[in-house]
Structure 1
């Protein structure tokens, strides 16, 4: 098949930002033509999560890193907080249970609440809301890391490590079933 009659436009290579900071993004990065696909250290034209949220100065980058650091700590706190709430609700279910003799001589535990009552309980609604928040925060952190900006990536990792340090000592379970993005 002959393709000589097709006209192809070549994409221009991404620029370094022009300020010597190694920005890694082209001026037209809204269309992601110049989006960096390797890690870089820069603070100009760094788009974070939303099209209007663009970092263009060292001060803005410091502020963004602090915000990302706190968001990663929040994520780790949410994971442990949800686990603690779940453990508490399971203990309450056990205390609200009563033993009943089974037909074959075994002892069955019957809870006073039906599945529908537990499903519509305030505790389950709270767990659901916290789960939604945790998923959104985890995806935000993943997308921030995917900017490939070294400063933001370090903020995500440092915040996650700090959050783990602050909250994980309470953790009783080794395998984390609520993990979304690691």
Structure 2
């Protein structure tokens, strides 16, 4: 599972000339679901998105508050093109989860976000529709998240720090979780 997360001043989704969803300050999440994604990856991504510290605190300290800390909104948009693999110059989407499976998986993702946060603050586009997504990136701050590829026994995972590696060359940052075989103490 891949997500492009942008800190936004506002964002909206339009389908067929009609605005179907919009948020003020918060996060816009473009989500790509792969064939290999399971409930484990879904839960990981929900946790990461909601706890991602990209907002400043009351004293102005950067990178210290999450969307939940600030009670901001989240706009999610399903985007299978994030699972693209280039073959020359042509995109290939064979790693994207097929539409029939992906729609229920995406709806489960939204449901988990709403359970973990405030349901009224989670908005979304229209699955499978041709959408116009209007994003007013704040910063700009754009972070790429990827769920762990290999399954890990939850008993082994306890006691390990979830330390992502980040490339923070401004204006954007690319963060990936550490490989599963690395342990941090």
Q: TM-score range by the shorter chain?
A: under 0.3
Q: Which has the higher helix share?
A: 1
Q: Which has the higher strand share?
A: 2
Max Rg structure: 1
Q: Provide the TM-score with structure 2 as the length reference.
A: 0.25
Higher relative CO (Cα under 8 Å, sequence separation at least 6) belongs to: 2
Q: Provide the TM-score with structure 1 as the length reference.
A: 0.25
